[in-house]
Amino acid sequence: RKEVEQDPGPFNVPEGATVAFNCTYSNSASQSFFWYRQDCRKEPKLLMSVYSSGNEDGRFTAQLNRASQYISLLIRDSKLSDSATYLCVVLSGGSYIPTFGRGTSLIVHP
């Protein structure tokens, strides 16, 4: 079983839709969680960190469920520019070495 798993999608949604992605992780000692965004043929960039209490950044909401060992990303009012691959990233305690999921592809269409 891969340490970090994501549904590869693609998720194909119309503009204005709400879409959610989940990411499961296998290491219960994992302490830090992130969502990165990667545009086609570009480098990954940090979208947001995921905090235990959940956090929001504009149209984006991230949640952590330690009991079930998953994190989620909710995108409200989807824009065409949200089309990208979203990578789930997990760090175990005391490590600077992240484990990346394979990514979930989102396509927002007019």
Q: Give me the residues that bind another protein (CB under 8 A), please.
A: 32, 34, 41-46, 49, 87, 91, 96-98, 100-103
Question: Smallest distance from the beta carbon of 8 to another protein, in angstroms?
Answer: 9
Question: Which residue, 9 or 44, has its beta carbon nearer to another protein?
Answer: 44
* Nearest alpha carbon to residue 59 among 6, 106, 8: 106
Question: Measured between alpha carbons, how far is 7 from 20 in angstroms, rounded to an integer?
Answer: 11
85: number of CA atoms within 13 Å, CB side? 18
Question: Which residue, 6 or 63, has its beta carbon nearer to another protein?
Answer: 6
Question: Smallest distance from the beta carbon of 62 to another protein, in angstroms?
Answer: 14
* Nearest alpha carbon to residue 10 among 106, 85, 76: 106
Question: Smallest distance from the beta carbon of 4 to another protein, in angstroms?
Answer: 9
Question: Which residue, 29 or 96, has its beta carbon nearer to another protein?
Answer: 96
Question: Which residue, 87 or 106, has its beta carbon nearer to another protein?
Answer: 87
* Nearest alpha carbon to residue 76 among 59, 55, 63, 62: 59
**Residue whose structure tokens are 């891969």:** 2
Supply 29's token pair: 């000692």
Question: Smallest distance from the beta carbon of 96 to another protein, in angstroms?
Answer: 5
